[in-house]
Amino acid sequence: ETIASIEILTACFAINFLYGGATRLASVFFVESIYRFDVSRKQASFPYVLAYMMRNLCGPLQGYLQQIFGMKSLVIFGNILATISIAACFFAEDILAVILLWGVIFGYCFGLGTQYLPSMLNAHFSTNRSKANGFAYSGACFGGVMMPPIMEACIEHYGLNGSFLVLAGIMAHLIPFSFLLKSSEEKSKCGIRNRKNKEESIEMKEDKKAVLPLLMPALKNVGEKSQTNNTEEEATELDQKLVTNACSQTEAANQKATENVKKKPPSIFTLKNFKIFIDPSFLIMFIMTGGTTLVITTMWTIILDFVRDKGVGVNLEIYYVMIIPLADIFGRIGSGFVIDKKFLPTSVITLICCICTGLTLLGLLFTYNYLLLMFIEFLFPIFYGSILILQIALIHEFIQPEKRTMAMVCRAMLFAPLSLTISPMIGYFRGEHGSYDGVIYTLTGISFFCGLIIYFVPYLAKRRNKTTPDNMT
C-alpha cells in the first residue's frame, strides 16, 4: 500500500497499544483503589467496569457525531480529553471522582479514540484490509502485556494517584499519533486534488469545442470583410470584437451552470443511518459480537480461579494468565492473512472459529494435564482474536457503505447489558454449586449459537439488496 496507508496503520497500532494497555490496568487499579479510598470491592471495581460499558453504549452517539464533525476531529478530541481525565485522577480523594473521571469521561473517550479506527483503515487499504485491522488491533495485546509491569512499579514508588499522572503522560502520546490519521473524506479530497490537472485539461478541450462553433461564422465574415475592404486593420479589429463576444457567451453559459449547481440543497445530517438497527443482517452481527465478547470477557475473569480448581500449582498460575494476550496476538495478526486470501467465505470462517471456540472450552473442562490444559488455553484466544477481526470484515462486506461507520461503532453495544450477567453467573455456578462447569457449558452454548446464526448473514444481505436500491461496493 501507499506511504500514507502505512502512516495510518502505525497510528492505529499505537492508539490501540495505549488504550489497550490502559484498560488492561483495571485489575491493578482495582486492587489499589480498595486500600487507597477505603471502599468495598464492589465500589472499587465500578469505575473500571463502567469504562467498558460507556465505550459500548455510546455507539449511536458516536455515529451521530461522526456525520457532523468527521472521524479524525472526534478521535483527536477524544484522545485529548482522555489524557486530561486520567491526569485529573491525580487529584481524586474519593472513589466518586474516579467513577466520573475514569468510568464516565475516559470510558466515553475510549470509544471515540478506537471505534472509528477500523473505518479509517478500510478506507485506505484496498486489498489488505483484514491484515491491516489484525495488525492494528494486535497493539492492544502488546499494550496489555507491557503496561501492567510499568504501572506496578509506578504504584510502588508514587502510589495510586501518582501512577494516574504517569499514565496520563504516557497516554499523551495519543495526540501526535491522532494527527497521522486521515478519514475517508480527507482521502477523497486528496484524490480530487490529484485529478485536478486532468480535469482542467479536459475542461479546456471542451471549452475549445464550445467556442469554435461560435467563432466559425464570425471568422468567415471576417474573411469576407477583409477581402472586400482589403484592409488588415479593420479585419483585426473585427476579429477581436467577435472573439470577445464569443468568450462572453461561453462565460455566461458557465456562470449559469455554476448557479444551477449552487441552487442544489446542501447535504444535511439525517437520521437515516439509524435504520441499521432494523437491518436483519446487522442484527445477527450485533448478537454475535455481543455473545462472543461475553465469552472471552468471562474467561478472562475466571481463568485464574479455574486453573486453580484444576490443581495447577501456584508457581505455574502466572503462565496461564500471560498466555491469553500472547495467543491473542497470533489470532489477530494471523487471521488477517487468512481472511484476505479468501480461501473460504467470511461467514464460513466465522462459523468455524465460533465452533472451535466452543470446542476449546469443552476441552478445558475435561482436561486435567497441565501441559495439555495450557495448549488448549493457547488455542482459545487464537480463535477469539480471529473472530474480532472477522467482525470488522463482515461489516465491510455485508453493510451498505453509507451505514458502515454507524454499524462499526455500534457493533458491541449488546455487550454492555450482557456484561451485567457475568457476576451473577459466576456466583450461581461457582458460588452455589462449587464448580465452573455450568459457566463453561453456558459459554460453549453461546459460542455455538453465534456461529450458527452468522451463517445466515449473506442470505439476509442478498435479500435486503434485492428489495432496496442501495448498492454494495
Q: How far apart are CA 308 and CA 473, in angstroms?
A: 50
pLDDT of 354 > 90? The answer is yes
Verify that 180 and 280 share a domain, yes or no: no
Residue 58 is part of a domain; what is its CATH number?
Answer: 1.20.1250.20
- What pLDDT is stored for residue 209 in this prediction? 54
Q: Are 444 and 361 in contact (CB under 8 A)?
A: yes
In a domain, 114, yes or no: yes
Last residue of one domain, picked from the residues 139, 154, 186: 186
Domain count for the chain, please give it: 2
Of the candidates 186, 204, 228, which is a domain's last residue?
186
d(CA 383, CA 448): 13
pLDDT tens for each residue of 313-336: 777 877 887 788 888 888 888 888
Give the count of alpha carbons within 13 A of 237, CB side only. Answer: 6
Domain closes at, from 154, 171, 186: 186
Element (H, E) at 374: helix 370-398
User: Which are the contacts of 160, defined by CB distance < 8 A and separation ≥ 6?
Assistant: 29, 32, 33, 36
User: What is the rounded end-to-end Cα distance, in angstroms, of the chain?
Assistant: 20
The span from the CA of 443 to the CA of 220, in Å, is: 88
Mean of pLDDT over the chain: 80
Residue with cell 480461501: 343
364 pLDDT more than 80: yes
In a domain, 224, yes or no: no
* Residue ranges making up the domain that contains 133: 1-186
Ranges 180-189, 207-216, 397-406, 450-459, most confident: 450-459
Does 314 lie in the same domain as 181? no
Residue 276 near residue 406 (C-beta atoms within 8 A): yes
Q: Give the Å distances, CA to CA, from 415 to 54, 102, 445.
A: 11, 19, 17
In a domain, 139, yes or no: yes
Would you tell me how many other CB atoms lie within 10 Å of the CB of residue 157? 9
Q: Which residue has the cell 485491522?
A: 133
- Residue 469: which pLDDT band, with cuts at 50, 70 and 90? low
d(CA 60, CA 39): 34
Radius of gyration of the chain, Cα coordinates, nearest whole angstrom: 30
Residue 238 belongs to some domain of the structure: no
Checking if the pLDDT of 258 tops 50, the result is no
**Do 17 and 166 reside in the same domain of the chain?**
yes
- Provide the residue count of the chain: 473
Question: Is a pLDDT exceeding 60 seen at residue 390?
Answer: yes
CA distance 379 to 308: 19
pLDDT score at 3: 79
